[in-house]
Amino acid sequence: MVKKRLFKNTLLRWMPDKEQNICESKLIKVIKRLKIEDFEFNWDRNSCYIEFHYKQESYRLEHSIEKAKEKGILLRNGMDCLNDLTQSLEDLSKIIERGTYRFDTWIAGMKKPSSAKEMPDYQEEFQIRYRTQGKPQYPEYNRNEEYVPVHLKSALRDFNEMEDLRRK
């Protein structure tokens, strides 16, 4: 009984690593078949990506649980997403090896946008959240007192009343 439980616990700890190693080695074999030398991949709980360079162009493949769910496919985690992308690349390599189409034709729609042209999301958010307030441009607000919007004045008054009652 103890030996069975020990074997089962050992097997369960070993399985996830085995699945990951199988998926990664399969991906590396497919990438080599496609004659791609520089690539990078990663997966997390909900998604995965594969980035690679081919003839001085950058390409990115992405997949997620949400994208699969929209198509009616149920995936458990990012590893399943990576398995799907690997399978797609494997199918693509079979098509290319048959001579039906060239690799360039298939990956034309996967080009990664140039980072110089596109502003990153975090930078745009930073500019929106933290733009300088400065002095208001309207003359009726250019007094020495600080401008407080009307809806905040009533909230501030209520807060001050509550503080006065609490102190008493």
Write out pLDDT tens, residues 87-145: 999 999 998 898 888 888 888 777 776 654 555 555 555 555 555 555 555 555 544 44
Query: What's the confidence (pLDDT) of residue 144?
Result: 44
Query: What's the confidence (pLDDT) of residue 69?
Result: 92
Write out pLDDT tens, residues 28-49: 999 999 999 899 999 899 999 9
Burial grade of 103 (CB within 10 A; 0-12, 13-18, 19 or more): middle
Query: What's the confidence (pLDDT) of residue 133?
Result: 55
C-alpha–C-alpha distance, residues 61 and 89, integer Å: 10
Mean pLDDT across the chain, nearest whole number?
76
Write out pLDDT tens, residues 155-164: 777 777 877 8
What is the amino acid identity at position 62? E
pTM over the 0.75 mark = no
Half-sphere exposure (CA, 13 Å, Cβ side) for 123? Answer: 5
Cβ-contact 141, 147 below 8 angstroms = yes
Alpha helix ranges (H) inside the chain: 2-33, 65-70, 78-98, 103-107, 121-129, 150-167
Query: What's the confidence (pLDDT) of residue 115?
Result: 54
| Ramachandran class of 16: left when φ > 0, alpha when ψ lies in -120 to 50, beta otherwise | alpha
**9: confidence class by pLDDT, cuts 50, 70, 90:** low
CB neighbour list of residue 98: distance below 8 Å, 6 or more residues apart: none
Q: Which residue has the higher pLDDT, 113 or 79?
A: 79
Q: Which residue has the higher pLDDT, 154 or 107?
A: 107
Work out the average pLDDT over 14-20: 67
Query: What's the confidence (pLDDT) of residue 134?
Result: 56
